[in-house]
Amino acid sequence: MSEETYGMEKWRGKVALVTGASSGIGRAAATALVNHGMRVAIAARREERLDELKRELAASGADVLTLVADFMHEEQVLGVFDRVREVFGGVDVLINNAGLGHRATIADGDLREWRAELEVNVFAASVCMREAVRDMESRGGGQIINLSSIAGQRVPLGNNLTMYSASKHALHAVSTGLWGELAAKGSPIKIGLISPGPVETQWHEMAFKSEAQARALYQGGKPLSADDVVEAMRYMLSAPAHVQINEVTLRPVSQKN
């Protein structure tokens, strides 16, 4: 990628891996990248949803690879990268979107749920970054975009998402640390972090274990959409080679904290 090349056109024909692609932000990201001419690998636990998305994208002639994996397990994460290397030769763009949250107080929390949040949101994300960097170093550069949360900047009091917030604070630290490591050796690989406020997806319903409580979160104003977050991804990916956009924070206009 030359200094003169900017915009999404430079990614045409390149390979993107989108984790957590079966719904929400990941699904929207995979669709957008395909529309920009990228070859896309989509990874998630729910095979039927991945197959449905692949059928939709392949109808337009897109080159799509589906990868069923549980990001709780390192060997499955490594299997995702092995398969992408086998089929596409490696990763040029990583959309590190797989994540989970459990709503509970610290006083009443479940250690198994805490471990799951840290395993997926921090450790699996870090393994993905490590493997992506290995690919990108051999391919002359690339872009990693980590999906965080506004909860990774401060602890959202009253929502009982403290451990989730802790995991996203850790992701911020790892992202910043990796950026520093790459910058120190003059690497062209870029690291970006997107931290949105409430996004209307299935995530809150799963975290709260209640559709009614998830819907209540959106009362009082229009929340962000998955497409809003994808626009931030496009902004990062479209920057010229010498420009690094390290972090973008998105809030609904109605958000008060």
Calpha distance 71→199 (Å, rounded): 22
DSSP 160: T
Calpha distance 215→201 (Å, rounded): 10
Provide the β-strand partners of residue 64.
40
Calpha distance 166→187 (Å, rounded): 29
235 is catalytic: no
> What sections of 62-161 are H helices per DSSP?
74-88, 111-118, 125-139
Task: Confirm if 179 and 73 have CB atoms less than 8 A apart.
Answer: no
Please report how many Cα atoms fall inside a 13 Å half-sphere around the Cα of residue 184, on the Cβ side. 6
Of 96, 82, 121, nearest to 194 by C-alpha is 96
The residues assigned a catalytic role are 164
